[in-house]
Amino acid sequence: MTSAATTGLPLASRTDLLVGSVIDSSTSLLARQTHDIVRFAMGSPAAEAIPTEALAEAARTELGTPASYDYAATEGDPGLRAALLEMLAGTTDATTDERLTITAGGMQGLDLAAKLFIDPGDLVTVESPTYTNGSATALAYQAELAEIEVDEDGMSIDALRAAVDRAGRPPKVIYTVPTFQNPSGTSMSLDRRRELLELARSWGSVVLDDDPYGMLRFAGDPVPSLHELADGDPLVFSVRTFSKIVAPGLRVGWVDADPSLAQLLIHAKQSMDTCTNLPAQRLVAGFLRSGRLEVHLAEQREEYRRRKDTMQQALAEHFSGRATWTDPEGGFFLWVSFDEQVDTEALFETALAEGVAYIPGNAFSPARRFPHDLRLCFASTPTDRIHEGVARLARAVDVAAGP
């Protein structure tokens, strides 16, 4: 934590609430390592899944004029908005132009939601475990957080009701990653989605629907998004991103929200970046217009299924009887739970020395409820390396346990 005392500068008191991202600090730590490490830590797409050729082609056709580098509309470039509407047509996230705001990735969507809805002291529920940068954003806006248990059907609605009873007031915002959740990999069932919307309506809460992985389903039956189920009810604020389906470094995403919020979103965004990054939007639009997205997604789904299956096999080989883990139907992550002997924060250094990286469970819980769990990203590592990485993790657990 940085405080006025340590910098000598008159910092705002809210800086005490900027908790920092464990994921980002692990990335910096990893960047300093010189030995071979199997990286299950970051939630990056597979290197092979970045459509570099199609993007290079888009750069040639879309970025050839000075106008491509000009200041641009805050709500997003009309070309990308049109291509995005077409991409979403017929999907569970189908929408209309007046609901869209183009953002700098999903993170800016989360920040915008917090900026619009959270007053200091407001109750915000987050999943437990939750996406750490999402809960950190709510905290930065001085929310009071309540953690709601997640099981194999996603966020527990009973636990949500109980937490609200305990708090004695409804949540202002209910934050959820409903599909292939980061970090657990589980998805919220259709019944729970419906119940959640009903409860949110009765409480007057906003449902912050953060769904970056929904298009990456490789098993099981599709479940309608909260956006679709809300059927135009203004209570759902949806945050989406191209980070997982095209490329994270482009920093392009979108918010799908009630049209009554459109002008406010522009105003809120103007104090962040005023004009949304035009070259990045043009690259994405060019890629979408190339007509390659469908094939690209199909290839990604197939490869991620293979990688997930490989990780399941490797975990079964090395950890049967010693841990349990989730079996996601899409997305990037699975969640491993050990018994009380294994402290995954303490294990991290040993794992790094053995040549494997993950994110400890406590990173995903403001109340640090997961000392014996960890998140593994299966998406970014080729299958042969997945075997090696899980074997190294097993060695690390053995070394940490001692003779």
Q: Is the dihedral of CA 3, 251, 244, 118 positive or negative?
A: positive
Return the structure tokens found at 239. 């945050």
Say whether residue 51 binds ligand PMP (CB under 6 A). Answer: no
- Backbone phi, psi, residue 72, to 5°: -140, 170
- The distance of closest approach from Cβ of residue 331 to ligand PMP in the complex, given in angstroms and rounded to an integer, is 9
CB within 8 Å of 263: residues ≥ 6 apart:
none
Give 182 or 277: the residue with its C-beta nearer to ligand PMP: 182
Q: Does 253 bind ligand PMP (CB under 6 A)?
A: yes
Residue from 62, 111, 210, 256 touching ligand PMP (CB under 6 A): that is 210
* Residue 212 sits in the site that holds ligand PMP (CB under 6 A): yes
Least distance to ligand PMP, CB of residue 336, Å: 18
Q: Applying CB under 6 A, does 43 fall inside the site for ligand PMP?
A: yes
Q: Of 81-110, which residues contact ligand PMP (CB under 6 A)?
A: 105-107
Q: How far is the CB of 108 from ligand PMP (least distance, A)?
A: 7
Nearer to ligand PMP, 76 or 355 (CB): 76
**Whole-number Cα distances in Å, 314 to 33, 308, 318, 390, 400:** 25, 10, 6, 6, 20
What is the closest distance, in whole angstroms, from the C-beta atom of residue 374 to ligand PMP in the complex?
16
DSSP label at residue 121? T
Give the shortest CB-359-to-ligand PMP separation in angstroms: 11
Q: Give CA–CA dist 123/174, Å, rounded.
A: 9
Q: Using CB under 6 A, pick the residue from 128, 132, 182, 381 that binds ligand PMP.
A: 182
Residue with tokens 């590592």: 381
Answer yes or no whether residue 326 interacts with ligand PMP by CB under 6 A. no
CB 347 within 8 A of CB 353: no
Label residue 31 exposed, middle or buried (CB < 10 Å: 0-12, 13-18, 19+): exposed
In the bound state with ligand PMP, the residue whose beta carbon lies nearer, of 280 and 315, is 280
Cα separation of 44 and 381, whole Å?
A: 9
| Overall residue count recorded for the chain in this entry | 403
Q: Does 243 bind ligand PMP (CB under 6 A)?
A: yes
H helical segments located in 63-95: 78-88
214 is a site residue for ligand PMP (CB under 6 A): no
Q: Least separation, in Å, of the C-beta of 238 and ligand PMP?
A: 11
In the complex, the residues that contact ligand PMP under the rule CB under 6 A are: 43, 105-107, 131, 134, 177, 182, 210, 212, 241, 243, 248, 253
